Amino acid sequence: MTVTQEAPDSAHQAHFDAAIAADRRIEPRDWMPEGYRKTLVRQVSQHAHSEIIGMQPEGDWIASAPSLRRKAILLAKVQDEAGHGLYLYAAAETLGVDRADLTQRLVDGRQKYSSIFNYPSLTFADVGVIGWLVDGAAICNQVPLCRSSFGPYARAMVRICKEESFHQRQGYELLMRMMEGTEGQRAMVQDAVDRWWWPSLMMFGPPDDESPNTARSMAWGIKRNTNDELRQKFVDMTVPQADKLGVTLPDPELVWNDERGHYDFGDPDWNEFKQVVSGAGPCNAERIARRRAAHEKGAWVREAAAAHARKHNTEEAAV
C-alpha cells in the first residue's frame, strides 16, 4: 500500500480539490471521490453506448447508398463510430468497470444512450441530415469535453472530435449536392430537416433548471458548459448553415436577437424527450433488440479469443 492510500480521506480530498482548482488532469491511479468516479462511469459508458447504437440508423443505408463514393464515405463514417465506442469503453475501464458488464447493462436496458438514435432514418437525405445536425450537435457537446478533468476521457475526445468534423462535413456536402438536384430531392432534404431538427436540440439534455447534476459535473470539471449554453451555441452555428443550404428550420420562433447577440428559438417538446429517454421512442425496442442479437451472435468470437489468450498464457508460462 502506498503512502497516499494510507492518508486520511480529508488529505486525499484536499489534494483532489487542488488539482481540480488548478485545472490539472485526474488520472486513473489518482484518488478521486466516489461521486466523481460514479458520475464519470455513467457519462463515459452512456457516451460509448451512444456511439455503438448510433451506428444503426445510418448503417441501414450502407447497402443502398446511391453511388460507390457515397457508400465508401458512409462505411468509413459508421466504422469511425465503432472506433469511438471502443475508445470510450477503454476510457471507462480505467475507472474500474468491465466492458462486458457495461454492454450487459445496455442490452438489459439498465443504462441509457443518446435519445437521438431512437428516431428512424427514412430516406437517404437522413444520412446527410444526421451528419450535419446530429454530428454537428455532437461536436458542440464534445469539443469542450477535450478539456474534461478526467485524463483518459479528455484524450479520447481529442481523437474523436477530429473524426466528428469529417462526419459533419460529409453530411453537409451530401445535402448541398441534393439541394442542387431535382425538386423531389430538395423536398426529401427539407422533410429530413423537419424531422431531425427538434430531436437534435434535445441531444443537449433537459433545460438547465431541470438538470440537477450539471452544477456538480461543472464544479468537478467533467462538464465545461451547461446544456442550455451548448444548445444556444449549436443554434447560432447552424442557422447560417441552413440559410446557405436553402432549407427552413421548423421553428416559427427562430429569430436573431440583436440585444443578446444570439438567436432566440422555441422549446423542444420536453414530454416527447422524456418518453424517448424512458424507452418509449419510435425505435428504442428495435435498437436494443439488434444490439442484443449482435452481442449474442458474437459470443463465439469472444469465447475463441479468451481460449486463445489462455493457451498463449499457458505456453508463455511453460517457457
Kindly list the residues in this chain that would bind Fe ion in the complex (CB under 5 A).
Answer: 51, 81, 84, 135, 164, 167
Least Å distance, CB 113 to Fe ion, is: 12
Instruction: Read off the DSSP letter of residue 134.
Output: I
Least Å distance, CB 157 to Fe ion, is: 10
Least Å distance, CB 189 to Fe ion, is: 19
**Contact predicate 41/97, CB 8 Å:** yes
Measured at the CA of 238, the angle between CA 253 and CA 200, to 5 degrees, comes to 75
- Measured distance CA(260)–CA(258) in Å, rounded: 6
Q: How far is CA 12 from the centre of its chain?
A: 32
Q: How many CB atoms lie within 10 A of CB 96?
A: 9
- Residues facing residue 150 across a β-bridge: 26
**Contact predicate 22/146, CB 8 Å:** no
**Contact predicate 134/196, CB 8 Å:** yes
Nearer to Fe ion, 19 or 137 (CB): 137
Least Å distance, CB 142 to Fe ion, is: 8
Least Å distance, CB 54 to Fe ion, is: 7
**Contact predicate 211/145, CB 8 Å:** no
Least Å distance, CB 167 to Fe ion, is: 4
Nearer to Fe ion, 164 or 251 (CB): 164
Nearer to Fe ion, 84 or 223 (CB): 84
Q: How many CB atoms lie within 10 A of CB 25?
A: 17
- End-to-end, the C-alpha distance of the chain in Å comes to 32
Nearer to Fe ion, 167 or 287 (CB): 167
Nearer to Fe ion, 167 or 223 (CB): 167
Nearer to Fe ion, 167 or 186 (CB): 167
Nearer to Fe ion, 19 or 174 (CB): 174
Q: Which residue has the cell 464519470?
A: 40
Helix (H, G, I), strand (E, B) or coil at 2: coil
Nearer to Fe ion, 93 or 164 (CB): 164
Least Å distance, CB 81 to Fe ion, is: 5
Least Å distance, CB 4 to Fe ion, is: 36
| Long-range pairs for 140-148: beta carbons < 8 A, 24 or more residues apart | 140/204, 140/230, 140/233, 140/234, 140/237, 141/203, 141/204, 141/230, 144/223, 144/224, 144/225, 144/230, 145/223, 145/224, 147/221, 147/224, 148/221, 148/222, 148/223, 148/224
Nearer to Fe ion, 81 or 251 (CB): 81
Least Å distance, CB 139 to Fe ion, is: 8
